Amino acid sequence: MIHTMLPEQFLQKPGTRAAEPRKRLMLAVLMTAVDDCQGSAGRQTESGVDRRSIHEALRYISSTDRSWPFSFENLCEAVGVDAGSLRRGLQRAALARLVMGSPGVSAER
């Protein structure tokens, strides 16, 4: 697959380089929550689904507390993602994993 890059994706304004590491860290934290909710091959235990990770991720994404800089709400806002929509999707994915017991299996029919 060929990915197209737009000029604004690689031509940066002066001073924006300092924000990049923080933005990458923010995205990494969000991706960890997404992986924990949706599942990935590397996030399973011997018995299947890592329920503890799912419950921790659900607790993190369910919180609306903004006092911590890396809270779910603050990170979504910083990277331009609607926290409510992402939260609902991740909660559905996590529930499906808990009910079905394995990643990649949807509870929807």
Query: CA-CA-CA-CA torsion for 39, 41, 44, 48, nearest 10 degrees?
Result: 90
The model's pLDDT over 34-46, given as tens digits with 9 standing for 90+, comes to 988 887 655 556 6
| pLDDT higher than threshold 70 for residue 3 | no
Find the farthest-apart pair of alpha carbons in the chain and give their distance in angstroms, rounded.
50
Q: Span 65-77, mean pLDDT?
A: 94
**Residue 26: which domain range?**
22-40+48-100
Strand partners for 45? 48
103 closest CA partner among 30, 29, 53, 28: 53
Positions of E strands within 1-109: 44-45, 48-49
| pTM listed for this prediction | 0.68
Domain count, the chain: 1
* Residue 88 belongs to some domain of the structure: yes
